[in-house]
Amino acid sequence: MTDIIQLLPDHVANQIAAGEVVQRPASVVKELLENAIDAKATAITLVIKDAGKTLVQVTDNGIGMSVTDARLSFERHATSKIKSADDLFNLHTKGFRGEALASIAAIAHVEMKTKTANTDIGTHLCIEGSKVTAQEPAVVPQGTTISVKNLFYNIPARRNFLKSNPVETRHIIDEFHRVSLAHPAVSFQMIHNGSDVFNLPISNTRQRIVHIFGSKTNEKLVPVSEETEILSISGFVLKPEFGKKSRGEQFFFVNDRFIKSPYLHHAVASAFEGLIKNDVHPGYFLYLQVDPHSIDINIHPTKTEIKFDDEHSIYAILRATIKHSLGQFNIAPILDFERDKGFDTPYEYSKKSPTTPSIEVDRDFNPFEEKPKQANIKFPFQRAQTTGIRARSSWESLYIGLEGEEKEEGSPEDISFESEEVTGNLFGNEDAEEGQMSFQLQKKYIVSPLKNGLMVIHQNLAHQRILYEELLKNITVREAVSQQLLFPLQLHFSKPDVEIILKIREQLEHTGFVFSKMEGEIVEISGIPVMVLESHVVNLLATVVNDIKEEVPDEGYSQNDMLAKSMAASMAIKSGTALNKEEQQHIINQLFACKEPTVSPKNKAVFTVVPIGELDKKFI
């Protein structure tokens, strides 16, 4: 039998390789931008036409190429970036496979102009379908411009496979974001069909993020920073309340290279646990630096996935660092209600058309009196204005229009709870302090009227949320106050249980526990958290030990989270506990001062709102 195996001609091999490297115009953008970065450019311009289908052009002011290199750069496996297999494990460049330009040249009309610093004359080169059609000297500035025209002109099937222009443009912008976010010290410009899309000056990371995503982003960023032996982390996470229902801004950069890592994403997501609802995705811009020897970026043709030697530790460090950052930064409370314009008008007026204020002059009126008598001056919209202007936390705005009087400025704790005259006011007294009105249902729910509905709060879950946030803060920020016990408590536990308490001793101390002795089966406690009753301590510790036994958390911070959840569950007021008005109000106020008042630490809904419309329907 005759030999049947033959080597594929180069241009065919290149076309096949192109299938791997170039899926769409955005792939070309990525490769060209990365080459420009590798060439040490400080200014890069990307020009595209028709979503890159007609033209993708990248101009850089990098090192350029000699005449020979310009020609060689389009050969397959031609690269200046590695010389031996060993170099693969010490990569400081984006590219190294030497197949991008060869692949691109196989499926498009490519033109290159390039010049190095030490020559006066540069090179101009044209390639179509892997064939050089022209190469001549040219007067060009230092650096390189590569234009890729008519992508997939010789593979109609691939060309037809491309998506609509908006979709392809989106992909290009994604790549542009990734490269420009990784290199804030390089200026970037992007022009699409003749108009400026991005113009990013040289800056720091924070400014780069803000330049790309808009000035509002600035206040959403929580800095993240950690330096350990195996990796350093810097960058930002978005405050939990800016999480998105769809995957929004999520960027990992490892050694300045954008990567995708479901595993590391999980680490970040779990750091947000309890602060963000299940179906909301956190946003982040995280820059990891690791020893190039400890990663393998060679496992994926387009190199967005990498393998870490020490994945486990990186996961733990990343998670811990983000937890810490979130704990340190005071994250403003926000309530998950759409604020509608109606909130600005008090309820009793919102349905009426404005009437001319009837003004009767009160001759006794003294403007310098502390509390002017109200009786004779009626000016319906004044109150609406003052309440609108005053900066309130969003939960308070739910009550606007329900209050009879302006509350004192200050934290929710300052609000007085003396609203016992509620019963007296039920029937039509305009001045009823309805904003502070609540009652208990079945010793389980706290029911409170809202401007346009009824809020039903689960008292136990609400209290869990309040305690959980407080405890978590104490554990991570370490500022709990403890109450000294007159006589130390001596508690007996089994030996394995004492072991567990020993393991979490430090965290418990952060919540306010003071252990004076731990020996054999005896735990002696001389101080307890202010929010814990002495009589409750045995139970509390037993519950925590049990929870830890059952869940077996494997590293520091998930243990903190668990501990906070467990303590919160154990300490929270139970269903079946009667609460007086003051206690009910206290729960409401504290709940809405929480970062995430809508869900319990274990992700159950804390309250529900019955809109007035629902009630109305019952009476039709």
Binding interface with ligand ADP (CB under 6 A): 31, 35-36, 39, 60, 62-65, 73, 78-81, 95-102, 144
User: Measured between alpha carbons, how far is 106 from 104 in angstroms, rounded to an integer?
Assistant: 5
Residue 439: name the closest of 585, 592, 328 by CA. Answer: 585
* Residue 590 beta carbon to ligand ADP: minimum distance, rounded to whole angstroms: 57
Q: Which two tokens stand for residue 404?
A: 């009879």
As given in the structure block, the two tokens for residue 352 are 């009426």
For residue 351, give Cα distances in angstroms to 24, 348, 388, 452, 453.
56, 7, 17, 12, 15
The interface partner of residue 52, options being Mg ion, ligand ADP, none and the CB cut-off 5 to 8 Å by kind, is none
Question: Which residue, 543, 550, 474, is CA-closest to 512?
Answer: 474
> Residues 36, 28: contact at Cβ < 8 Å?
no
What mask, x for binding Mg ion by CB under 5 A, covers residues 98 to 127?
--x---------------------------
Q: Which does 98 bind (CB under 5 to 8 A by kind): Mg ion, ligand ADP, none?
A: ligand ADP
Q: Is the dihedral of CA 492, 493, 495, 500 positive or negative?
A: negative
CB of 56 to ligand ADP, least distance (A): 13
Residue 425 touches which of ligand ADP, Mg ion, none (CB < 5 to 8 A by kind)?
none
* Rounded least distance, CB 186 to ligand ADP, Å: 13
CB of 71 to ligand ADP, least distance (A): 10
Bridge partners, 527 (sequence order): 484, 514
147 versus 600: smaller Cβ distance to Mg ion = 147
Selected from 25, 52, 95, 282, the binder of Mg ion by CB under 5 A is: 95
For residue 62, the partner it binds in ligand ADP, Mg ion, none, with Cβ less than 5 to 8 A by kind, is ligand ADP
**257 versus 323: smaller Cβ distance to ligand ADP:** 257
**35 sits near Mg ion (criterion: CB under 5 A):** yes
Q: For the CB of residue 170, give the shortest distance to ligand ADP in the complex, in Å.
A: 24
Q: Please answer whether residues 347 and 401 qualify as being in contact, where contact means their C-beta atoms are separated by less than 8 angstroms.
A: yes
**Candidates 92-100, 138-146, 450-458, 563-571 — which segment interacts with Mg ion by CB under 5 A?**
92-100
Closest CA to 293 of 96, 82, 86: 86
Q: Which is nearer to ligand ADP, 60 or 433 (CB)?
A: 60
Buried b or exposed e, range 278-296, using 16+ CB within 10 angstroms = eebbbbbbbbbebebeebb
The interface partner of residue 541, options being Mg ion, ligand ADP, none and the CB cut-off 5 to 8 Å by kind, is none
C-beta of 101 vs 528, nearer to ligand ADP: 101
Q: Which residue number, 77 or 341, has a Cβ lying nearer to ligand ADP?
A: 77
The minimum distance between CB 127 and ligand ADP, in angstroms, equals 12
Q: Tell me how far, at minimum, the Cβ of 114 lies from ligand ADP, in Å.
A: 6
Q: Which stretch binds Mg ion (CB under 5 A): 93-101, 221-229, 415-423, 514-522?
A: 93-101
Q: Does 27 participate in binding Mg ion (rule CB under 5 A)?
A: no
Name every residue whose Cβ is closer than 8 Å to that of residue 501 and which is 6 or more positions away in sequence.
493, 508, 518, 523, 541, 545
Q: Which SS3 state, helix, strand or coil, does residue 413 take?
A: helix
User: Rounded distance, CA 191 to CA 46, Å?
Assistant: 6
Is 369 strand, coil or helix? coil
Residue 34 CB, shortest distance to ligand ADP, in Å, is: 7
DSSP state of 273: B
Q: Give me the residues that bind Mg ion (CB under 5 A), please.
A: 35, 95, 100
